[in-house]
Structure 1
Amino acid sequence: MASVFCENCSKMLKEFAANFRNVCKEFKLKVYKELSHCTCVRITPERTTQLPTLLHLCDNGPHIFRQERLQALNTLAASENIDLQMTAAVYYLRLSHQLNSPLPDDFMEPIMPLLLSIHFDVQKSILLAVVNLLIKNNVCKELVIEMGMLVPLLELFQSGDATAQCHSCACIAMLASAESNTDALLVDGIIPLLALAKSYDPKVQQDAAWALLYLTQSDWPTRILCQAGAIPVLVLLLQSSDPEVQFYSCTALCNIAAKQEHHPKMLSIGSHYLLKSLLTLMSSSVQKNSAQACRCLQTLSMNVLIQEQLMELEWVLPLKGLLKDSAPVWTEPAITLLSDLSAHPPNKDILISEGVLDGIGQLLRHHRSSCVIVAHSCKIITNLCSSCTGQQAVLEGLCLSGPLRAFLLPTLGDETLLHVTSCLQHMMTLDPLKCKLSATLTSEHVSRLVKLSGQSGNSQLSYNCAAIISKLDMSAEMRHLLRPHYLNVIEYLLAFLQRRDVQFQQLVIITVFNLQKDEGFVSQLADSELEVQLWKVQAQTEETRRLLQRIQPLSPSCVLNH
């Protein structure tokens, strides 16, 4: 490859590189000379013999794990001199960034005295090296436990230094991912960590809560935590005066709740204490905490027993309060929880009587661009509008116009449109809502319904839109809106009829039966391919019926025997 530099610049760069190497060599010799005259190095002959190796500790050549290097590291780690210990710690730190292969077990030995050093800076440096080695799987996690490193790691966790606490927590969490370390972590790790979580020191409590959260991010450590009694501790932390502790503990409980195997222990705390604490947190002025409490309740609400317990508490009011928030990021967890709760039959009358549908209408007016809010709002309307009181609430509120406005948004994806059209289709099956909905549709709505009915990318979306058209009240106004689209309607109906899915074939017949109330449609249908195919279907159906009449019905006992 041609050089990007001219000949003169290339020559100057080569000279600079050569001079720089010479300067480095001279500096190394100068360091060696000065160190050899220093009393701290000349304390013992053993230290003096390690100086040549010390100067080459960071040379990552093919013999990186030579025996003399290990001896030097052991000597430096055992020293009481902070500079010598720091040299060994920095070596491990640099090695942890560059090492791409397992660290030999022998080279783990100097790490322990460095973790136990009386010099805190040395401890922090070697701690970061251990974190890196664990993250990259350069060291055996079981060996770390066997060497007794868990004790100094926990001591560093209690050091009060945020960096050291963060790194020690990370070490403990990664060690917990090894199932063979369960017993050691229960005795030496998790239980002391839970004790720290009960500390009266807010900073210690915050770091402990963070560590517990970190441990709940994978299945095996979560099981260890639950076995050790972490759930009651985390529930108590929800009552902390520190918002960060509340957030960490709530998020940890949310992670635990994701596995239903832990639900019995979560429910075993008396007097619905967990649910009460989460409902209280939902009313927090700290938005991320109230949203996280919603997420936790939503995860728990998958359990029917928990929903029944929730029914006994005042849970609607805080949820309605969150729906009024202006930021979708905080509203979305609340609407998701409400959507799940509205699917539970005993909750429906309560939600309607509490005016939830009014809030949903307002929410759709202000957050039509949020796919999560639109989808779950439509689910809630669908769940609640089946009863007479629900239908009345929809008619009196904004719940009818909300899905219609959302339906016209070009930014909504097919998944969200499925929920919108499912909601509209369901309302079209209810006479009071059907009349109102048909009268509210505009030419834009009709055009979009016809267009989506004819698209072949999403069969269910096409079916939903076509089903809405099949149920429209054929008033004079509706006929006027539909007439420009009859050719397109006939085209998608013909495609439906040619499908093997009986559901689509039946929808064609229902649609034709409804639209033939308009003479304009009848004239378009006459002599069309759709009409020909309909006659063929009728003939086939009659022939099938005639043939079936010739077959003697099988007796029930004969059917059962086969």
Structure 2
Amino acid sequence: MASGFCEDCNRLLTEFIARVRTFCREFEQKLRDIFRELCRCTCFRTRPERRSQESPSVHLLYDDETQLLSQEHLQALNRLATSENIDLQMTAAMYYLHLSHHLNSPLPDAFMEPLMALLLSTDLDVQKTISLSLVNLLVKNNACKELVIEMGMLVPILESFQSGDATAQCHSCACVTMLASSESNREAVMVDGIIPLLALAKSYDPLVQQNATWALLHLAQSDWSTRILCQAGAIPVLVLLLQSSDSEVQFYSCTALCNIAAVQEHHPKLLSIGGHFLLKSLLTLMSSSVQKNSAQACRCLQTLSKNVLIQEQLMELDCVLPLKALLKTSSPESAITLLSTLSAHPPNNDILVSEGLLDEIGQLLHHHRSSFVIITHSCKIIADLCSSCVGQQAVMESPCLSELLWALLSPALSDETMLHVTLHLHQLMTWDPLKSKLSATITSEQVSRLVKLSGQIQNPELSYNSSAILSKLEITGEMVQLLRPHYVAMLDYLLVFLQKKDVKFQQLSIVTLFNLKKDGDFSSLLAGSELEIQLRKVHAQTEETRRLLQMIQPLSPSSVNP
């Protein structure tokens, strides 16, 4: 688990910033309307003595942005924030809200002092306004997260969890989340914040629950922090939240559990809730209509499935049916990854075959011919399921083989993906029934592609795999017609193979030559060619090696002990 933000967290932070900014714009407009009406009143024009302290605060919001951080304003904010008058405190809090919305540069450290004083206000509305301002400043990186902790602001932020006010709790949760995003702060937040956050995560208010779960997710970012979370009793809370009616809460709790599951020592605690409650909840979430939730549930199950015991329990819970359904969605990557993990455990394979998984894999390959994740895991699943005769027969009856061959022609596939395709096609051809099926199915375009890949000497493994497939094709009359246009190109790469020091390339070249010589046209091309000369050299070297080995052949046991 990385200490930084993952792709999902970056997206969530972006959404959060957008929501905060929208709120601030609406709030600011209402605020301006109120102050505009106030300024028209004679109370502000006559400036009675009782209002003399308020006049500097009223015009703060109307100053030019360049003046927002002036020394005069700092002095005014200090007076307002430390005043016992709640209205004056609120004026300072609203100024910070305005500042948090418009500030594009770091907030000077001196401006943090009034902010701290406002957090300690006895008025709940002041606390809510200033905590929202702090959230905005933290989101935009205008306030130093480390300084916030050093100044002791975490204490009043956590205390507002007990306020009973949903808005105050949400703002405080957001503050904690942003502070926990700094690795250096996480320990301080973990020590004092976990228990209050777990309590808020049980709130009946959906928004409070959502913010608390989001904060807990940001605390589950390292092995150390997940261990503390587990010790504090976070697992039962997070598992229950999987069944929340709020899709965001489901996503945050599932992601946090996924992070926890990445550390295998936590698996006993994750599974300690009776009746396979966690696995059942994740399987239910996997069927969610919210795509990100179903995908995240799959990822969590995939992480857990590294434990063979959990795999067995999943199979008992009929996990294949919902996984097959996910393969038909627009984002089947997480489902195919989990199925790939399950197929690696041989006892699961008969069930996977009987559930018709190979037909689904064939359809998936047809619709996702350029996806590295889909092709890579599909290849692995097909190869895994071919470990039995039943699986081989099911592969032949499915569209899997033809779709793997068509993948060879995809111009969008990288060499890395093509390496997986050729590797598994070669592996499939080690079984005679599949070799016959592939030989009868392959087209002239696919043969041309394999010949071209065989000549990519700069990628030896891809070249080897492609040539190995060609070497195993059954040399029938139809196959000879497909291969004849490529004899010259094949002679070229076979010569390169023979010249290599790697014995496996030399052996592959010889096997291929043996098969191709069944066609008289190829034998004619081979006669007197540079390839034939090199073949004689290899033969001579081999004979010499054999002779030398005989010279040092150890005496048999019978000659040593007559």
TM-score range, shorter chain: 0.7 to 0.9
Cα 1:295–1:98, aligned 2, differ >3 Å: closer, same or farther? Answer: same
Deviation sequence 1:235-255 (CA, Å, 0-9, x none): 111122333332222222223
The answer to whether the 8 Å contact 2:80/2:89 transfers is: yes
Match of 1:246 in 2: 250
Does residue 330 of structure 2 align to residue 328 of structure 1? Answer: yes
Cα 1:348–1:56, aligned 2, differ >3 Å: closer, same or farther? Answer: closer
Tell me how far 1:265 sits from its aligned partner.
Answer: 2.7
The answer to whether the 8 Å contact 2:82/2:89 transfers is: no
What SS class does the counterpart of residue 78 from structure 2 fall into? helix
Tell me how far 1:159 sits from its aligned partner.
Answer: 3.7
Tell me how far 1:490 sits from its aligned partner.
Answer: 1.0
Tell me how far 1:144 sits from its aligned partner.
Answer: 4.1
Cα 1:64–1:290, aligned 2, differ >3 Å: closer, same or farther? Answer: closer
Structure 1 CA distance, aligned partners of 2:246 and 2:330? 25
Match of 2:6 in 1: none
Equivalent residues, number: 515
Pick one of 161, 166, 175 that aligns with 1:160. 166
Does residue 184 of structure 2 align to residue 175 of structure 1? Answer: no
Tell me how far 1:221 sits from its aligned partner.
Answer: 4.3
Amino acid at match of 2:249: V
> Which moved further from structure 2: 245-254 or 345-354?
245-254
Tell me how far 1:84 sits from its aligned partner.
Answer: 5.9
Structure 2 CA distance, aligned partners of 1:486 and 1:153? 80
Cα 1:90–1:155, aligned 2, differ >3 Å: closer, same or farther? Answer: farther
Cα 1:416–1:354, aligned 2, differ >3 Å: closer, same or farther? Answer: same
Match of 2:450 in 1: 449
What SS class does the counterpart of residue 412 from structure 2 fall into? coil
TM-score, with structure 1 as normaliser: 0.80
Amino acid at match of 2:254: C
**Structure number with higher relative contact order (C-alpha < 8 Å, ≥ 6 residues apart):** 2
Does residue 529 of structure 2 align to residue 498 of structure 1? Answer: no
**1:153-232 to 2 correspondence within 5 Å?**
154=161, 159-161=165-167, 167-176=171-180, 185-186=189-190, 188-217=192-221, 221-232=225-236
Structure 2 CA distance, aligned partners of 1:275 and 1:84? 51
Does residue 144 of structure 2 align to residue 138 of structure 1? Answer: yes
The answer to whether the 8 Å contact 2:100/2:137 transfers is: no
Match of 2:380 in 1: 379
Deviation sequence 1:15-35 (CA, Å, 0-9, x none): xxxxxxxxxxxxxxx99x996
What SS class does the counterpart of residue 400 from structure 1 fall into? helix
The answer to whether the 8 Å contact 1:154/1:189 transfers is: no
What SS class does the counterpart of residue 521 from structure 2 fall into? helix
Amino acid at match of 1:38: R
Match of 1:90 in 2: 95
Tell me how far 1:290 sits from its aligned partner.
Answer: 2.5
Structure 1: gaps (5+ residues): 1-29, 557-562
**1:230-269 to 2 correspondence within 5 Å?**
230-269=234-273
Match of 2:305 in 1: 301
Does residue 361 of structure 2 align to residue 354 of structure 1? Answer: no
Match of 1:415 in 2: 416
Cα 1:241–1:130, aligned 2, differ >3 Å: closer, same or farther? Answer: closer
Tell me how far 1:386 sits from its aligned partner.
Answer: 2.3
Structure 2 CA distance, aligned partners of 1:289 and 1:76? 46
> Which moved further from structure 2: 90-99 or 436-445?
90-99
Structure 1 CA distance, aligned partners of 2:283 and 2:55? 68
TM-score, with structure 2 as normaliser: 0.80
Structure 2 CA distance, aligned partners of 1:408 and 1:540? 39
Structure 1 CA distance, aligned partners of 2:75 and 2:180? 31
Tell me how far 1:211 sits from its aligned partner.
Answer: 2.8
Amino acid at match of 2:123: I
Deviation sequence 1:87-106 (CA, Å, 0-9, x none): 465258637975866844x6
Tell me how far 1:178 sits from its aligned partner.
Answer: 6.1
Structure 1 CA distance, aligned partners of 2:58 and 2:196? 44
The answer to whether the 8 Å contact 2:116/2:153 transfers is: no
The answer to whether the 8 Å contact 1:450/1:465 transfers is: yes
Tell me how far 1:224 sits from its aligned partner.
Answer: 3.5
Deviation sequence 1:465-519 (CA, Å, 0-9, x none): 1110011100011011101101101111122223333222221122112212221
Tell me how far 1:334 sits from its aligned partner.
Answer: 1.1
Structure 1 CA distance, aligned partners of 2:477 and 2:106? 79
Tell me how far 1:44 sits from its aligned partner.
Answer: 8.8
Structure 2 CA distance, aligned partners of 1:51 and 1:339? 64
Cα 1:408–1:284, aligned 2, differ >3 Å: closer, same or farther? Answer: same
Structure 2 CA distance, aligned partners of 1:429 and 1:101? 65
Tell me how far 1:425 sits from its aligned partner.
Answer: 1.0
Q: CA RMSD in A?
A: 3.6
Match of 1:78 in 2: 82
> Which moved further from structure 2: 278-287 or 488-497?
278-287
Tell me how far 1:234 sits from its aligned partner.
Answer: 0.9
Cα 1:210–1:450, aligned 2, differ >3 Å: closer, same or farther? Answer: same
Tell me how far 1:440 sits from its aligned partner.
Answer: 0.9
What SS class does the counterpart of residue 149 from structure 1 fall into? helix
Tell me how far 1:434 sits from its aligned partner.
Answer: 0.5
Cα 1:309–1:321, aligned 2, differ >3 Å: closer, same or farther? Answer: same
Cα 1:256–1:51, aligned 2, differ >3 Å: closer, same or farther? Answer: closer
Amino acid at match of 2:488: L
What SS class does the counterpart of residue 432 from structure 1 fall into? helix
Match of 2:438 in 1: 437
Cα 1:88–1:246, aligned 2, differ >3 Å: closer, same or farther? Answer: closer
Match of 1:127 in 2: 132
Structure 2 CA distance, aligned partners of 1:280 and 1:542? 66
Cα 1:168–1:553, aligned 2, differ >3 Å: closer, same or farther? Answer: farther
Structure 1 CA distance, aligned partners of 2:212 and 2:61? 41
Tell me how far 1:438 sits from its aligned partner.
Answer: 0.3
Cα 1:148–1:199, aligned 2, differ >3 Å: closer, same or farther? Answer: closer
Structure 1 CA distance, aligned partners of 2:160 and 2:154? 12
Tell me how far 1:172 sits from its aligned partner.
Answer: 0.8
The answer to whether the 8 Å contact 2:526/2:532 transfers is: yes
Does residue 399 of structure 2 align to residue 398 of structure 1? Answer: yes
> Which moved further from structure 2: 545-554 or 180-189?
180-189
> Which moved further from structure 2: 449-458 or 200-209?
200-209
The answer to whether the 8 Å contact 1:369/1:412 transfers is: yes
